[in-house]
Chain A
Amino acid sequence: MTRDLQAFLTGALPRSEALVEATRGLERKRVTPEACEAQRVEDATAAIELQDAAGLDFISDGQLNWQDLFRPIVEACKGLEGGALTRWFDNNTFYRKPTAVGELALHSGLPHEFFRTRLLNGHAWHVILPGPYTFARAAEGAGHAAGFEERLDATAKLLRQAARWCADRGARHIQFSEPWLVYQPPKKRQLAAAAAAYATVTKGLNADTVLSTYFGDLKGVYPDILDFSVDAIGIDLTATNLSDLKEHDFDKGAVLGVVDGRNSLVETPAEIVALAAEAQDVLDPDFLAIAPTCELELCPRSVADEKVKALGRALELGRESL
């Protein structure tokens, strides 16, 4: 059966060498905030053009000023502080642990500088937010939301506000990044709490939604994850064997992580399409999308650019052959 194939990014793009220099210069007070911001705009424009030229269906601004996946939410929420530097899974990259110090709520929306809606004008805007389970696992509470399930519930309500803020400003496609769900699969009770968190986050949300898993095997939360209240599930195919998923009816969209965001080797379009064809046969999902496994930010910009172009060529090839 021929279906339309989609493609989009899974996370932040890497900064260009010029932006690396500008942000370093900013820290050393050699570059003014205005000059650094001009470079960020140039990078974001290039990131949008790159995705556009590759023919991606949903376009992000590259998240080039997100210091980690949680930071814009932390900065917008008075009840959160950026805490200790903590390793981002098994990568040579770190995030600041969100630390609950008060009520988890957004009182004035999200900071506009993290969502470059003006540059995205005319494109189908793809927003990438942390998923509630991963946020609650990555965070800690000191007196406030100290228990995990209490924190998960509070985080879900916070992310619901964030997702609505984006949808109200035109976001068409909202991804919730959930590496923790598969890196260390939760026990049944916590998985049920995670499912409830998604019911909270996506209730009444006027956008397509993806729950993106990566850095682990989807088998650990399968098939329970099919009951989560989202339109599509992202699968890291460097960690998941498709044949392990064939026993259940995949009644959602499948977003295939087919471009390895942690490896400098650029995939060929033929390799990507072969995986997509296999996924279509094995899963028979509601729709199929191809994407990087995780944030391409874990590769240098020159490599990431080639990977996005390969994704675009695979999209073209896949639409002809699948």
Chain B
Amino acid sequence: MSARLFPTQEIGSLMKPAWLVKGLRGAELSEGDYAELGRWSKELRLAKEAKRVEELLKAHPGPRRDLELRDLASIHQIRYLEAAGLDFVFDGEVHRAEMYEHPVRNSKGFTFYGHVRSFDNKYYLKAAATSRVGFLRP
């Protein structure tokens, strides 16, 4: 535990970088997206990781490739928060589709009923507890 008087931390998910969002979707990155990847990899000293991201973006989407992309995004987000000087860091939830869906999917006793709008054209899957709720996996 930090002995600092005012330890700092981020309290919610971080916006996923465009190269991750588009990469997972199999969409083409714009020049601006590549420029952003280059700028941040320089800023965060992640040149080797950025090179690997570019290799993966050229590969066909698939579970192993997508997992590696997300892992690289985790490194990116952790380094981002470390560079800001925060005392406690995390990966910005890049492995999650949505904050609640992840733990619910990995628990038992819930039934997903469908999407509910979060804002604008963004949605989350809403589940209800329909039997005894319990831990399944982390």
- The residues of A with any CB-CB pair to B shorter than 8 Å are 14-15, 17, 20, 23-24, 26-28, 67-68, 85, 92-96, 264-265, 297-303
Q: Knowing A297-B116, A298-B116 touch, does A24 contact B126 (C-beta < 8 A)?
A: no
Q: Knowing A92-B100, A303-B113, A303-B114 touch, does A28 contact B119 (C-beta < 8 A)?
A: no
User: With the chains together, A27 CA to B27 CA distance in Å?
Assistant: 13
- Give the number of chain B interface residues (Cβ < 8 Å): 16
Among A14, A27, A96, the one with the most B-chain Cβ atoms within 10 Å of its Cβ is A14
Is B117 touching A264 in the complex (CB atoms < 8 A)? no
Q: Label chain B's interface by main secondary structure.
A: strand
Which of the residues B27, B116, B117 comes within 8 Å of A28, measured between beta carbons?
A: B27
Is A300 touching B121 in the complex (CB atoms < 8 A)? no
Is A299 touching B121 in the complex (CB atoms < 8 A)? no
User: With the chains together, A258 CA to B11 CA distance in Å?
Assistant: 36
| List of B residues within 8 angstroms of A301 by Cβ | 114
- Contact sample, A vs B, 10 pairs, CB 8 Å cutoff: A14-B115, A14-B117, A15-B117, A17-B114, A26-B121, A93-B116, A297-B117, A299-B113, A301-B114, A303-B114
Q: Knowing A67-B119, A93-B119, A95-B119 touch, does A28 contact B25 (C-beta < 8 A)?
A: yes
- B131 at interface, CB cutoff 8 A: no
Is B119 touching A14 in the complex (CB atoms < 8 A)? no
- B128 at interface, CB cutoff 8 A: yes
Q: Label chain A's interface by main secondary structure.
A: mixed
Q: Knowing A300-B113, A302-B113, A303-B113 touch, does A264 contact B128 (C-beta < 8 A)?
A: yes
Is A93 touching B117 in the complex (CB atoms < 8 A)? yes
| List of A residues within 8 angstroms of B114 by Cβ | 14, 17, 300-303
A221: shortest Cβ distance to chain B, in Å? Answer: 28
Is B121 touching A27 in the complex (CB atoms < 8 A)? yes
B39: shortest Cβ distance to chain A, in Å? Answer: 24
Residue of A nearest to B124 (CB): A92
Is A23 touching B121 in the complex (CB atoms < 8 A)? yes
